[in-house]
Amino acid sequence: MPRQRPAANGARLSIRVDLGTGLRIGPGKVALLEAIGATGSISGAARSLGMSYKRAWDLVEELNSGCQQPVVSASPGGRDGGGTRLTETGDRLIHLYREIERMASHASRLQIRALDRMTPAG
């Protein structure tokens, strides 16, 4: 699912979900997972987002250890080149987050527009 587009006036809603276990899922981690899905690699995903490989790897580890099942599966390089892929859990996490984002954005669109009109650029 594509990233949320700002409203015509520029305002948009940003969602972060704080789970009971302490795991936080927000736009950055979801964008990283989407980029891993698109590139098939953590380093490629990090480059596409302007993020260091270490930061991307740390976020993947945080998600993998924070979920009951891994969200990303990495195979080491070698003759076949290795690579990284999203697991079914990773795909589901992205889907659920984007659905929450879509529903919240829809439900709050009038209030967001009203807030945006309160700013100088609005």
Is 62 in a helix, a strand, or coil? Answer: helix
Look at the block and give the residue holding tokens 């990495």: 74
Q: What percent of the chain has pLDDT over 70?
A: 88
* pLDDT tens, residue by residue, 28-72: 999 999 999 999 999 999 999 999 999 999 999 999 999 999 999
Rounded distance between C-alpha atoms, residue 63 and residue 20, angstroms: 14
Answer yes or no: is 54 within a domain. yes
Look at the block and give the residue holding tokens 């699912």: 1
The CATH number of whichever domain residue 106 belongs to comes to: 1.10.10.10
Answer yes or no: is 35 within a domain. yes
Look at the block and give the residue holding tokens 């740390």: 58
Count how many domains the chain has.
1
Answer yes or no: is 122 within a domain. no
Say yes or no to pLDDT of 4 above 70. Answer: no
Rounded distance between C-alpha atoms, residue 15 and residue 99, angstroms: 11
For residue 79, what are the domain limits?
A: 17-117
Angle, in degrees to the nearest 10, between helices 42-49 and 53-66? 120
Answer yes or no: is 3 within a domain. no
Answer yes or no: is 7 within a domain. no
Q: Which two tokens stand for residue 67?
A: 């979920």
Number of H helices, E strands in the chain: 4, 4
Q: Closest by alpha carbon to 77, among 28, 43, 100?
A: 43
Q: The pTM is what?
A: 0.84
Say yes or no to pLDDT of 122 above 70. Answer: no
Answer yes or no: is 96 within a domain. yes
Q: According to the model, what pLDDT value does residue 76 have? A: 76
Answer yes or no: is 32 within a domain. yes
Answer yes or no: is 45 within a domain. yes
Q: According to the model, what pLDDT value does residue 120 have? A: 85
Q: How far is CA 2 from the centre of its chain?
A: 11
